[in-house]
Amino acid sequence: MKKTIFISGINGFIGSSLLEHMIHHDDYFIFGVDIDDSRVCSFFDHSNFKFIKDSISNLDLMEDLIRQSDIILPLAAIANPKLYVTDPLKVFALDFEANLELIKLTVKHQKRLIFPSTSEVYGMCQDQYFDEDQSNCVTGPIHKQRWIYSSSKQLLDRVIYAYGIHNNLDYTLFRPFNWVGGKLDSIDPEASERSRVVSKMISDIVFKKELTLVDGGKQKRAFTDIDDGIDALWKIIDDSTGSSYQKIFNIGNPFNEHSIKDLACYILDALKNNPKLSHFVDDINIIDRTGFEVYGQHYQDVDFRMPSINAIQECLGWKPSIDLKTSIEKIIQHHEQSILNDY
């Protein structure tokens, strides 16, 4: 029997990547909502997809779509560390308040909820591997506004868990660990103001002839290729066994831990090895700046973020396979033509 999935924020990094994966699975019909359609417009004519250009603040529309759907996947959110500091109230309004309304409607209509938590909920946890059921969620003092995103997501996790206990909500929470891919952000002269680290580094190299390392780039992350991430998310969506019922899953690649400085080197190497783009790495100025200089006094960083993926391996048989160098090469290839056109 064909199922209907409602995805808010479908034009974003995860949403558009998932749509591309799901669109040819005829067992699913997809309602997609977003305020932008630039990444999904090529699928408008597909019979398995209907796009609605609107905001999730339109609660009458949201309720109607949720009522018609079997699975609810609310992906609309701000996930940008710079904005956590510069516009925390906007982050809270969308990431917490607006998504809470969708969660309430999902409970009201007794639908299945697949909700994007975040690796950020673990904060400054010192466990070697972050475990969904055992690791503490540790954030900094209130004046470090960087934690508004983590705290908003953590509170929604707790609300969803409570709905599971008291209202028998059918849910799965998934926590992405530094997913990277070509659709993460655009590569352009203004990217440094809004992009995540991979896209920002590429944009700065191409358009500013510089590469900034924050606090020496010593922070470590377990980078996860978007294709591995979408494979895991698809296993959750298509789970017919109930293995993912009321579960929390880390989705990350513990075999892929690298420092931000390592990441910068991989990006430089990938550009250098691309015949059409190699000239962009000539005479690059590498700058070391403090977190205070880059993000301001309200920022606080995390030294490492390593997922345990035992839960999703045991329940759904998922394991990542793509290394960071391959991911970077794919990202460079994805943006190659736009870089050449824009420069």
Specify whether 120 is catalytic: yes
By the 8 A CB rule, do 90 and 78 touch?
Answer: yes
Closest CA to 159 of 222, 225, 88, 99: 99
Report d(CA 207, CA 193) in Å as an integer: 13
By the 8 A CB rule, do 231 and 253 touch?
Answer: no
Helix (H) or strand (E) holding 49: strand 49-53
Q: Which two tokens stand for residue 178?
A: 């530094």
Check 39, 112, 120, 132 and give the catalytic one.
120
Q: What is the DSSP letter of 222?
A: E
Residue labelled with tokens 């899953």 = 249
| Contacts for 215 with CB less than 8 Å, ≥ 6 apart | 288, 290, 291, 301
Report d(CA 335, CA 255) in Å as an integer: 26
Check 146, 175, 196, 305 and give the catalytic one.
305
Beta strands, E only, 130-189: 171-176, 179-180
By the 8 A CB rule, do 70 and 4 touch?
Answer: yes
Report d(CA 145, CA 233) in Å as an integer: 30
Specify whether 305 is catalytic: yes
Residues tagged active-site: 120, 305
